[in-house]
Amino acid sequence: MSKKVVTFGEIMLRLAPEGYYRFVQADKFEATYGGGEANVCVSLANYGLDAYFVSKLPKHEIGQAALNSLRRYGINTDYIARGGDRVGIYYLEKGASQRPSKVIYDRANSSIYTASSSDFDWDLIFKDCEWFHVTGITPALCDNVANLTLQACKKAKEHGVKVSCDLNYRNKLWSKEKAGEVMSEICKYVDVCIANEEDAADVFGIKASNTDVTLGEVNREGYKEVADKLVKRFGFEKVAITLRESISANDNGWSAMLYDGKEYYFSKKYNVRIVDRVGGGDSFGAGLISAILDGFDSKQAIEFAVAASCLKHSIEGDFNMVSKEEVLKLAGGDASGRVQR
């Protein structure tokens, strides 16, 4: 029987100009769906886990379309509450060369903003559940949703469920001060902390020394120090940090580190030519969760997570449409990209 995993957050409508057109050039937008926790959920379903997404969506056709986008990949949507008036939207302009990608949010007062404790039966949701995943995006939406996220984490721990949290700081959603205050409380109930090379500094003021991601420079020793400080402050069982070396908007070095409280494990580094980087961190988190639930050791787990995320950078849309077998093949050393016949 597949292991039950649950994620909680907002799924949004993504509108993006074709190719590398800028917003001001576009006369048509491609419509897809995605969002941090939903992206993780899709990956977990692809890896064969019994994945449940918890959220709130309006009852109208756009809300139904968002829900259907999850169902088509095998996600259980039984715990999605229905109500409110709108699906959140984000606009994505893809960057190229030295021009960065750009995201514009139009999500204020979406259905999840109206969610209340009565919308979610956490005791039922966490029955027979093995893992619960949240990110720092959902509590950033408003105080109401932050409180729901905290309630969910507390209830998960009551049920003996492992909790992971991707810090996922978004400066367009809240200030560093507010993020630090809210996430410090949530992280009391987190077992596995996931972050990128800047999140710990933005949210908790914990910085890696001698590192400048804008110059493509990552100092491994500095991130060991960051992970150690996070474990000492919150008591995390594990801390995973993705290490993106930004050469340009199209080309990145991609690797990660996992600290299990005893040893530091660094993955191999992939030189990634980016098709779509949205969801790269989410695919990493999902890979790590899947690997841990499958009983991989720490080195195997970080290699699986980074390989999964490396592949996501080659796939259009928020969702990482790869199988466990494809990830294992890349993690095992086949990075040739040769045609599979």
Among 208, 186, 209, residue whose Cα is nearest residue 198: 208
- d(C-alpha 47, C-alpha 75), whole Å: 12
- d(C-alpha 285, C-alpha 292), whole Å: 11
Query: What tens digit of pLDDT does each residue of 232-289 get?
Result: 999 999 999 999 888 898 999 999 999 999 999 999 999 999 999 899 999 999 999 9
CATH architecture of 4-331: 3-Layer(aba) Sandwich (3.40)
pLDDT value for 178: 96
User: Over 60: is that where the pLDDT of 338 sits?
Assistant: no
| Vertex 180: Cα angle to 176 and 184 (nearest 5) | 165
User: Over 60: is that where the pLDDT of 340 sits?
Assistant: no
- d(C-alpha 108, C-alpha 89), whole Å: 9
Where do the structural domains in the chain lie, given as residue ranges? Answer: 4-331
| Cα–Cα distances in angstroms (integers) from residue 291 to residues 32, 168, 174, 237, 316, in the given order | 28, 21, 32, 15, 24
Query: What tens digit of pLDDT does each residue of 295-316 get?
Result: 999 999 999 999 999 999 999 9
Beta strand 81-82 with 162-166: parallel, antiparallel or unpaired?
Answer: unpaired
| Cα–Cα distances in angstroms (integers) from residue 218 to residues 208, 214, 244, 277, 285, in the given order | 9, 10, 8, 19, 20
Catalytic residue among 282, 297, 318, 334: 282
Q: Are 279 and 319 in contact (CB under 8 A)?
A: yes
- d(C-alpha 219, C-alpha 212), whole Å: 9
282 belongs to the catalytic site: yes
